[in-house]
């Protein structure tokens, strides 16, 4: 069975602070995909990043960076110099990778509510 | 990525009634899914909508309560039947095309059952 744990229920920071959202996963599969999604107050789920289990390179995209560590089954997300517009619920998710094709079924963590104060 | 729309965007319904939610994609996609997000909770997969055949339901979800149709590769519907207040949730459809390895989500339908 797959499981995703986001231990931080809520985080509150002041604008320009750096913030890291933690994600720990469990899976018996040797190949899988990990994701981060953002859900602003409007409710839509916005895709941020996908990482294949074979690719442990960290990634940076503007103020966003992701640290994937297979040894600790973690896929953490850091926002540098946070802004009020970053306020949202952030979900980490996991899916099985079946021979190079995504299995499709996403298992989500409980989400972390991030509030950035001006 | 595909542009996904859902109708209605929100609704308030009386218990015992049914509501059909539509999901439309602007291009053909291989896979379509329906998720439920109860208030303050995470997303839970209801079912995979299969084109031309019956949907594949996850544990805890049944066809009589959540009938799903997928008549073609760009459209699907989810019906929430015989609603109760516990069905108040956001219902989201998502799509994934072959080779994309990523699900993209529609804007969601906010349902309140009184």
The CA distance from A61 to A49, in Å, is 9
Q: Which pLDDT score is estimated for A57?
A: 83
Parallel, antiparallel or unpaired: strands A112-117 and A10-14: parallel
Nearest chain A Cα to B37, which residue? A43
More confident of the two residues A98 and B20? B20
Predicted local confidence at residue A99, as pLDDT = 54
**% of chain B at pLDDT higher than 70:** 100
Chain A residues 40-99 within an 8 A CB cutoff of chain B: 42-47, 50, 52, 91, 97
**pLDDT at position A103, please?**
61
Where does residue B21 rank: exposed (0-12), middle (13-18), buried (19+ CB within 10 A)?
buried
Query: Which one of B100, B101, B110 has the shortest CB-CB distance to A43?
Result: B110
Which segment, A61-65, B17-21, B49-53, is predicted with the most confidence on average? B17-21
Instruction: Give the SS3 label for residue B21.
Output: strand
Partners of residue A110 in chain B, C-beta under 8 Å? 41-42
CA distance B42 to chain A (A): 5
Is the pLDDT at B79 greater than 90? The verdict is yes
**Lowest mean pLDDT across A51-55, B28-32, B95-99:** B95-99
Closest chain B C-alpha to A34 CA, distance in angstroms: 10
- Give me the pLDDT at residue A101, please: 52
- Residue contact A43–B108, C-beta within 8 A: yes
pLDDT at A105 (0 to 100): 81
pLDDT at B50: 83
Q: Where would I find the beta strands (DSSP E) of A40-118?
A: 46-52, 59-61, 64-69, 74-79, 88-98, 101-102, 107-108, 112-117
Q: What is the pLDDT of residue A59?
A: 86
Cβ-based contacts of A3 with chain B (< 8 Å): none
The residue among B3, B8, B105 with the most chain A CBs within 10 A of its CB, best to mutate, is B105
Q: Which of A42, A50, A110 sits opposite B101 (nearest CB)?
A: A50
Question: End-to-end distance of chain A based on CA atoms, in angstroms?
Answer: 41
- Average pLDDT (B5-30) is 96
Whole-angstrom Cα distance, residue A32 to residue A17? 32
Please tell me the number of Cα atoms within 13 Å of B41 on its side-chain side: 13
Whole-number Å distance between alpha carbons of B9 and B92: 10
Residue B112 pLDDT level (bands cut at 50, 70, 90): very high
Nearest to A4 by CA among A31, A21, A25: A25
Strand partners, A50: A35
**Cβ-based neighbours of A68, under 8 Å, separated by 6 or more:** A34, A51, A55, A56, A57, A58, A74, A75
Q: How would you write the pLDDT of chain A (118 residues) with one tens digit per residue?
A: 789 999 999 999 999 999 999 999 999 888 889 999 999 998 899 999 999 888 888 888 899 999 999 999 999 999 999 999 999 999 999 987 655 555 678 999 999 999 999 9
Determine the distance in angstroms separating the CA of B16 from the nearest CA of chain A, rounded to an integer: 26
């Amino acid at each position: 069975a797959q499981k995703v744990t986001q231990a931080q229920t809520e985080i509150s920071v002041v604008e320009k602070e750096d913030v890291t959202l933690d994600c720990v996963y469990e899976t018996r599969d040797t190949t899988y995909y990990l994701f981060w999604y953002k859900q602003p107050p409007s409710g839509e789920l916005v895709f941020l990043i996908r990482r294949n289990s074979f690719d442990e390179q960290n990634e940076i995209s503007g103020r966003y960076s992701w640290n994937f560590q297979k040894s600790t089954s973690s896929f953490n997300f850091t926002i540098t110099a946070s802004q009020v517009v970053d306020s949202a619920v952030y979900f980490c998710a996991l899916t099985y990778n079946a021979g190079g094709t995504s299995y499709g079924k996403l298992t989500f963590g409980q989400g972390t509510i991030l509030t950035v104060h001006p | 990525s595909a542009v996904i729309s859902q109708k209605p965007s929100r609704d308030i319904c009386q218990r015992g009634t049914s509501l059909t939610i539509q999901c439309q994609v602007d291009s053909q996609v291989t896979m379509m899914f329906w998720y439920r997000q109860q208030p303050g909770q995470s997303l839970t997969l209801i079912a995979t909508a299969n084109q031309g055949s019956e949907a594949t339901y996850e544990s805890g979800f049944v066809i009589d309560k959540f009938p799903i149709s997928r008549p073609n590769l760009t459209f699907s519907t989810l019906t929430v039947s015989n609603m109760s207040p516990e069905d108040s949730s956001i219902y989201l459809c998502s799509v994934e095309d072959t080779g994309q390895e990523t699900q993209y989500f529609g804007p969601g339908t906010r349902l309140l059952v009184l």
